[in-house]
Amino acid sequence: MKIAVIKGDGIGPEVVDEAVKVLNAISKKYECNFEYKEVLMGGAAIDKVGEPLPKETIEVCKNSDAVLLGAVGGPKWDNVPRNLRPEAGLLKIRKELQVFANLRPAIMFPQMKDASPLKEGILGDSLDLMIVRELTGGIYFGDKDRIDIEQGQKAWDIMSYSTPEIARIAKVAFKIADKRNKHITLVDKANVLENSRLWREVVSAISKEHEDIKIDYMYVDNAAMQLIRNPKQFDVILTGNMFGDILSDEASMLTGSLGMLPSASIGKNKIGLYEPIHGSAPDIAGEDKANPIATIMSIAMMLRFSFDMEEAAKDIENAVSKILEKGYRTLDIMEEGMIKVGTQKMGELISQNIK
């Protein structure tokens, strides 16, 4: 099983190192072999070779079974031209691998319920929702530019979606909902955007082939509010690229911390891309403060989706659960009476619990 490893920038290298520790524990237990190949992307690649996504990285990723990614970006590269920004590398690798479906589960560990900023009673003991975010289209990838005008400048970013782009992501959502609570909420802005009206038409047509799955339609502003008011009403949220980006950060906080949530990006090919949903947190980089759990949970998703190793995926989730149960916390999820540990210690504790 070949895994391309992109550590990236900021806390990326630290959290990836811990995830690899956990993978090594899995490899030992199941006597299987993971072959790692480290490649450059983001700011680290800009510094070394002058571009955020070197050709070699694309090649290595395309020849792997899965890609593990930390995070990219940071203030150091904020003023480079837009096509050379670290984030441009991330968007391009998603496009190159054609991973159009970004699965972002927001699952709360019961041990963490006091870490949620929501009032007691709103979440109860659990939260388990899945955001299915379109990842290779929409406003992120449309024509964008700036021109000079008399009074200054004018900028645009074009948002467009085609019927096949919507249909393929919708089918992923229906498949996932079928294995869960059979309820999809399509989140859009159909009262204003033509894109959203097309999404509704395509999704509603597909829903006719899945009569056992309930489908709701909700405007994104309302959805942002409902996620706080009554998050338990959601099972699967299906949405476009930008709304999915925003709502997944919001949903992560319901569970206590952005540092806890993994993601899997899957698509046309067999190659999956696995990354935490958080960013590179340059303010705490290199200080052994970052929470590696989101990246470690992304490994669980990799085992589940790319390698069909369900039992191993559960081992990781159980190990994380056990460590939380014992009271270990990184800084971002620290609460009174718990034991504060650094990034490396957290990784060690979790890998030692893979037995």
> What residues are designated binding site for Mg(2+)?
221, 245, 249
Q: Please, which of residues 271-310 interact with ligand IPM by CB under 6 A?
A: 277, 279
Catalytic: which of 249, 322, 340, 345? 249
Specify whether 148 is catalytic.
no
Specify whether 161 is catalytic.
no
Catalytic: which of 113, 171, 189, 340? 189
By CB under 6 A, name the one of 9, 14, 134, 245 that touches ligand IPM. Answer: 245
Binding residues: 74-87, 94, 104, 133, 221, 245, 249, 279-291
Specify whether 157 is catalytic.
no
Is residue 262 within 8 Å of 301, Cβ to Cβ? yes
Q: Does 90 bind ligand IPM (CB under 6 A)?
A: yes
DSSP for residue 171: H
Q: Does 73 bind ligand IPM (CB under 6 A)?
A: yes
Burial class (CB in 10 A: 0-12, 13-18, 19+), 117: exposed
The pair of three-digit structure tokens given for residue 28, joined into one six-digit string: 């030992």
For the chain, list the strands marked E by DSSP: 2-8, 35-38, 66-71, 101-108, 127-134, 144-149, 152-157, 183-188, 214-219, 236-239, 262-266, 272-276, 328-329, 339-340
The pair of three-digit structure tokens given for residue 31, joined into one six-digit string: 């006597």
Beta strands 101-108 and 262-266 are: antiparallel
Is residue 252 within 8 Å of 231, Cβ to Cβ? no
Question: What whole-number distance in Å separates Cα of residue 100 and Cα of residue 266?
Answer: 6
Min dist CB 95 to ligand IPM, Å, is 12
Question: What whole-number distance in Å separates Cα of residue 60 and Cα of residue 62?
Answer: 5
Specify whether 145 is catalytic.
no
Binding residues for NAD(+): 74-87, 279-291
Q: Does 245 bind Mg ion (CB under 5 A)?
A: yes
Q: Which residue is nearest to ligand IPM (CB)?
A: 87
Question: What whole-number distance in Å separates Cα of residue 204 and Cα of residue 342?
Answer: 47
Size of the site for Mg ion (CB under 5 A): 1
Min dist CB 315 to ligand IPM, Å, is 26
Q: Does 51 bind ligand IPM (CB under 6 A)?
A: no
Question: What whole-number distance in Å separates Cα of residue 113 and Cα of residue 121?
Answer: 10
Question: What whole-number distance in Å separates Cα of residue 36 and Cα of residue 71?
Answer: 18
Size of the site for ligand IPM (CB under 6 A): 6
Min dist CB 34 to ligand IPM, Å, is 24
Min dist CB 314 to ligand IPM, Å, is 25
Out of ligand IPM, Mg ion, none, which partner does residue 38 contact, by CB within 5 to 8 A per kind?
Answer: none
Catalytic: which of 235, 245, 315, 332? 245
Whichever of 17 and 87 has its CB closer to ligand IPM, that residue is 87
Out of Mg ion, ligand IPM, none, which partner does residue 138 contact, by CB within 5 to 8 A per kind?
Answer: none
Question: What whole-number distance in Å separates Cα of residue 1 and Cα of residue 246?
Answer: 33
Query: Tokens 């006719």 appear where?
Result: 208
Q: Does 96 bind ligand IPM (CB under 6 A)?
A: no
Question: What whole-number distance in Å separates Cα of residue 127 and Cα of residue 322?
Answer: 18
Report the interface residues with Mg ion, using CB under 5 A. Answer: 245
Interface ranges with ligand IPM (CB under 6 A): 73, 87, 90, 245, 277, 279
Where in the sequence numbering do the catalytic residues fall?
Answer: 140, 189, 221, 245, 249
